[in-house]
Amino acid sequence: MYVIAPFRLDDRVAVVTGASSGLGVRFARILSAAGAKLVLAARRKDRLEALARELGDALPVACDVTDEAQVSHLFDAAMKRYGQIDILVNGAGDADPYAAEEEPLKAFADIIALNLTAAFSVAQHAARPMLARGRGSIINMASVLGLVGGGLRAVPGYAASKGGLVNLTRELALEWAGRGVRVNALAPAYFESELTAGIFANKKALEVIGRMTPMGRPGLSHELDGPLLFLASDASSYVTGQILAVDGGYLAH
């Protein structure tokens, strides 16, 4: 008899960074619907509190992930409330819309600090209690632009940071695989969010996405639900170090 591994997350505690907007809100809702207890982190506490009320029993923690003291406070608060951390969705991030020859070095450095350095800090803090228990799943939010160049607009710092996050995912997976902590990444193509609002408001940009994507369209928000739950749950218990592209065939060219 064959039994499909469940996608349920009952009795699991999930920390979601970037949970005040866009895909982070969607991820929090999906993890909650699957039974997880949520810790919501972002800078905009009013939005976190509204989402926490909607979910019923979530812990909102205002946190700038580029500030290590605030990251430490986030995980202290999570452990104080729940006593464990089982899942991390490392989702905080931004982009830098500059041509490479024009971007100020500070803007480039700021994006690296947020999308890569802070992602490492958050993963490090999450991993410590996971490693102590011998189990956990870390899901980094990468991008197809961490695997290839040539997006719709020039974002050199974003591309560099996501490329770094892709290989950081592999490195952390190798370091922690024998100690029960899995580390994988989602690499979406174009999905609508606050970060991509300008693209989705531009008819010509959407036409270009259609031409660049074999499936002929951008992604729909619900099309990340299954990949997220797969990586968060025991359905992927033998999966680590993987970059799961959710891209309508974008990378298959």
b (16+ CB within 10 A) / e for 13-38: bbbbbbbbebbbbbbbbbbbebebbb
Q: Locate all alpha helices (DSSP H) within 66-202, ordered by sequence.
A: 68-82, 105-112, 118-133, 156-176, 197-200
How many residues in the chain?
A: 253
d(CA 18, CA 24): 5
What is the H or E stretch that residue 233 is in?
Answer: none
> Catalytic site residue 190?
no
Structure tokens belonging to residue 96:
């830098």
What is the H or E stretch that residue 155 is in?
Answer: none
- Do residues 145 and 213 make contact, with C-beta atoms less than 8 angstroms apart? no
d(CA 78, CA 232): 18
Q: Of 2, 82, 98, 158, which residue is the catalytic one?
A: 158
CA angle in degrees (0–180, nearest 5) for 172-245-166: 30
Task: List, in sequence order, every residue forming a beta bridge with 40; answer none if it has no partner.
Answer: 16, 60
Catalogue the active-site residues: 158
